[in-house]
Amino acid sequence: MSAARPRISRRSAPLAYAFLTLVALLALTPTVWVMVSSLKTGTQIFTGAGVLPDPVTLQGYIDAFTQIELHRYLLNTLLYATLGSAGAIAAAFLAAYPLARYGFRGRGTLVAGFSLALAIPVVGLATPEFFIMRELGLFDSRVGMVIFYAALQFPFTFVVLRSYLLATPRELEEAAAMDGAGYFTTVFRVVLPLTRPALATVGVVSFVQIWNEFFFANLFLISQEHQNVQLALAGFRSQFGFNVTGAIAGATIVMLVPIVVFVALQRQVIAGLTAGAVK
Amino acid sequence: MAVSLLPGAALFATFFLVPLGVLVVTAFSRWGGLDLAWTGLENYRRMLDDPVFFSALGNTLFYAAAAVAVQVPLGVAAGMVLALRPRGWKAFRAIIFVPFVISGAAYALVFSMFYNARAGLLNNALAALGLPGDRDWLFDTATARWAVAGTFVFVVGFVMILVMAEIAAIPDEVYEAAQIDGASAWRQAVHITLPLLRNVIGTVILIRLLVDIGMFDVVFILTAGGPDDATATLALYAYRAYLNGEWGYANAVGSTILVVGVVLIVAVRRLFRVGEGR
């Protein structure tokens, strides 16, 4: 940070803190209250007595695993989020490299198409997506869900990776070509290591997005054993209405995963979202 | 090289291009997934005759407007204040950003408790302040839409970080002259920084509109569109048609969602001259 940058003055700092605190409270109060409530007894939750848990109990967390079997949903979601992101990244990396480096006919069209897909409100496509998943035999299957999520994340990953490659110098690739390296040797031995920071960035963002996905999971997954955590959360209100502590504890775990990912990998998340939005 | 394009192109064609084609074409038919009968403009005619469609459209635009009116100014202000680097700005950035990574389904659960008429924090807090605290916020037609909007308008983290990134990209020289003149940090923020944020403000409004046009998760789980369709969105309206096996009709609504999206995008791009130089 250079000296030329305006910094807040000592006199106006209190006003800034008051504003920032207000924004933080508006955004977080309900969520924090529910997370704290996950340590309450069912009786205390139903009567709404007191803000802090009294007595503190872990019964909700025990119920979340023994009664609701949250671990099954967590495992499914972990599978969708890691493999779906990996698939999107693999496809996007392989496509982004030639579309960033080579001029050929149809390049402009492909780039425009892949990028514009990012601007489609995909929920509008519900029925056709359902139809295609069914016709391809991918409906209500874990493999199908992974493939679908890879496709859903492809436009975002592609746009970020391609713009990263456009901003990366190509000397190393040219040197590799002089040494007689083939296309895929160059891609995997030279370009891939250079792209690692961008891969990490899109990987983290895409993981969180798939972790949080509800709409298509709701559309494609009917068997309970294939469902993700977001479907479990939505089901809590009806199916597990009797066990409100378990539901809240489960929801807390489900929310904490992306929060922990974000706090641990802040730099990547922020870089990824910024790159995806501005390009 | 062509081989390398193949996986991406296949995913794109299968899950974006073909569905888009199916959507637009079958919107002119009666279709339940198997038998298809061409019906011309009938689906669109039915849509325009249905008051529920218009309330869903109105609610969708209401949510979009609420986000643009509350979330964008709050997020821009938070980003601008944090860019002045008050002590502890990184902690504030993290705290304000955290709600953005929480899913719609989780928010639905959180707010179903928060707004709960009897045991919810909102009513208890109001009662503690001596105000009437017995309203059922989500199931009262007078407040339901506002209560739903309240679940997302304060989630300003995304706007905030984009604004901060944009400010970080402003060259130092821009501020140097102002500092020689002795302008305060606030004056510089308002007179130098803010005008340079036009592009990014346009961008966040665009992204926000795209999200809101397809709004579904929170509404579906929290209220299922009720009471009396007071909170229903276009996406939820299309989903109901899909559940009824009226796929052609669902796709006419789906096409409308895409068209509304395109119209809003073009309008915002024009208005904010997004993508043009400073």
Q: What angle do CA B76, B81, B85 make, to 5 degrees?
A: 135
Q: A65-86, pLDDT tens digit by residue?
A: 998 899 999 999 999 999 999 9
By CA distance, what is A211's nearest residue in B?
B103
Chain A CB contacts of B121 under 8 Å are 29-30, 33, 48, 51
Chain A CB contacts of B191 under 8 Å are none
Chain B CB contacts of A26 under 8 Å are 74, 154
More confident residue, A234 or B242: B242
Cα–Cα distance measured from residue B32 to residue B21, given in angstroms and rounded to the nearest whole number: 17
B4 touches A at CB < 8 Å: yes
pLDDT band at A193 (very low <50, low <70, confident <90, very high): very high
Mean model confidence pLDDT for chain B: 92
Nearest-CB residue to A12 (from B102, B186, B210)? B186
Chain B CB contacts of A134 under 8 Å are 33
Q: Is pLDDT above 60 for A2?
A: no
Chain B CB contacts of A34 under 8 Å are 109-110, 113-114
Ranges in chain A annotated CATH 1.10.3720.10: 64-278
> What's the whole-model pTM score?
0.94
Q: Which CATH class, in words, describes the domain spanning B41-272?
A: mainly alpha
Structure tokens that stand for A23 in this block: 């924004």
B239 touches A at CB < 8 Å: yes
B257 touches A at CB < 8 Å: yes
Nearest-CB residue to B8 (from A5, A91, A215)? A91
Which ipTM score applies to this complex?
Answer: 0.93
Nearest CA-CA distance, residue A164 and chain B, Å: 16
Peptide bond connecting A128 to the previous residue in cis, omega within 30 degrees of 0:
no
- Test B84 with A113 for CB contact under 8 angstroms: no
Which of the residues A1, A2, A5 would you substitute to probe the B interface, choosing the one with the greatest number of B C-beta atoms within 10 Å? A5
Chain B CB contacts of A251 under 8 Å are 106, 109-110
- Test A95 with B113 for CB contact under 8 angstroms: no
Q: Is pLDDT above 80 for A63?
A: yes
Output phi, psi for A121, to 5 deg.
Answer: -70, 95
Nearest CA-CA distance, residue A44 and chain B, Å: 9
Q: Is pLDDT above 60 for B25?
A: yes
Q: B32-70, pLDDT tens digit by residue?
A: 877 889 999 999 999 999 999 999 999 999 999 999 999
- In this predicted structure, what is the pLDDT of residue B105? 93
- In this predicted structure, what is the pLDDT of residue A241? 54
Cα–Cα distance measured from residue B272 to residue B254, given in angstroms and rounded to the nearest whole number: 27
Query: Radius of gyration over alpha carbons of chain A, in Å?
Result: 23
Residue with tokens 């024009």: B270
Sequence letter at residue A253? I
Interface of B with A in 101-160 (CB under 8 A): 101-114, 116, 118-121, 123-124, 154-158
The string of DSSP codes covering A238-264 is HHTTT-HHHHHHHHHHHHHHHHHHHHH
Cα–Cα distance measured from residue B263 to residue B257, given in angstroms and rounded to the nearest whole number: 10
Percent of chain A beyond pLDDT 70? 96
Mean model confidence pLDDT for chain A: 91
- In this predicted structure, what is the pLDDT of residue A1? 45
CATH architecture of A64-278: Orthogonal Bundle (1.10)
